[in-house]
Structure 1
Amino acid sequence: MQAPIPFGAAGQADRVSFDRSELNVILSLYGRMVAAGEWRDYGLSFLRDVAVFSVFRRTAEHPLYRIEKRPRLRNRQGQYAVIGMDGQVLKRGHDLRTVLRVLERKLIRTVE
């Protein structure tokens, strides 16, 4: 007899997601940007090839930025990317903190 599948676990094994440490780094930046009045909402998407953290200024608009994790690119350009509203890749790399610095620069300009 087959073991029961926990609620919500069906189909989860083949999806990419952020782990706890990655989410801590992202949410730390998110909290600072919310405190600065720049960001107001976020959304998470966990798909087969990519996990996406989308940042919004207002809920009913397109995301300002998308923070993506694509494990298939781990050995090439790096699995993390920050993508702007227009679809342009602002920064890509292997280290999430380094990639997110492109957004932290915007926070420094906002505070000044």
Structure 2
Amino acid sequence: MTDQPDLSREGRERQASSPAPVIDLKEYRKTDDPLPVTFHRTELDAILWVYGRMVGEGEWRDYALDHLRDKAVFSVFKRSGELPLYRIEKNPKLAAKQGAFSVINTNGMVLKRGHDLRQVLKVFDKVLKLVE
């Protein structure tokens, strides 16, 4: 057994004669292909601090990071095979309007939105209730 694909002799010769195209990075960067939106290091620090606290309390167990062209998403899961419990999103297009950061629940309802990520993450702070 070999790791090579099953090609006929003609197919192998054709494949060897036409190498993969080489793309110049300077020209690629000049194209209109935008870089994906990412979380900054301080933003990830704030998110992971809340995530660590909630994992310690047994509420959350897994997370996923998605860096898309228009937004960055930090998804939180109770179990890895389910839908995310919450999504923490950074959408720079909304920065001048409602705020770039938002917390969205499983149903798609925006729980909190704002310009300051630490204020938005306060939605996860538990309020102590008086028990009589």
User: Helix, strand or coil for the counterpart of 1:14?
Assistant: coil
Give distance in 1, aligned partners of 2:47 and 2:116. 12
Deviation at 1:104, TM superposition (A): 1.9
Distance between the aligned counterparts of 1:34 and 1:102, measured in 2?
16
Name 2:64's counterpart in structure 1: 43
Ranges in structure 1 where 5+ consecutive residues have no aligned partner: 6-11
Aligned to 2:108: 87
Matched, 1:67 2:88: yes
Residue 19 (structure 1) shift: 0.7
Which protein shows a greater Rg? 2
Q: Percent identity?
A: 55
* One-letter identity of the residue aligned with 2:80: T
What is the aligned partner in structure 2 of residue 8 from structure 1?
Answer: none
- 1:27 pairs, out of 48, 60, 64, with 48
Identify the residue that residue 74 of structure 2 maps to in structure 1.
Answer: 53
- CA RMSD in angstroms, aligned pairs only: 2.2
Following the alignment from structure 2 to structure 1, what is the Cα–Cα distance between the partners of residues 108 and 79?
Answer: 18
Q: Which amino acid aligns with 1:15?
A: P
What is the total number of aligned residue pairs between the two structures?
A: 102
TM-score, normalised by the number of residues in structure 1: 0.83
Structure 2 residue runs of 5 or longer lacking an equivalent are 1-22, 27-32
Q: Using structure 2 for the length normalisation, give the TM-score.
A: 0.71
1:13 deviates by: 5.2
1:37 partner SS: coil
Q: Distance in 1 between matches of 2:89 and 2:58?
A: 23
Q: What's the offset of the Cα at 1:105? A: 2.5
- After TM superposition, the runs of 4+ consecutive aligned structure 1 residues lying more than 3 A away are 2-5
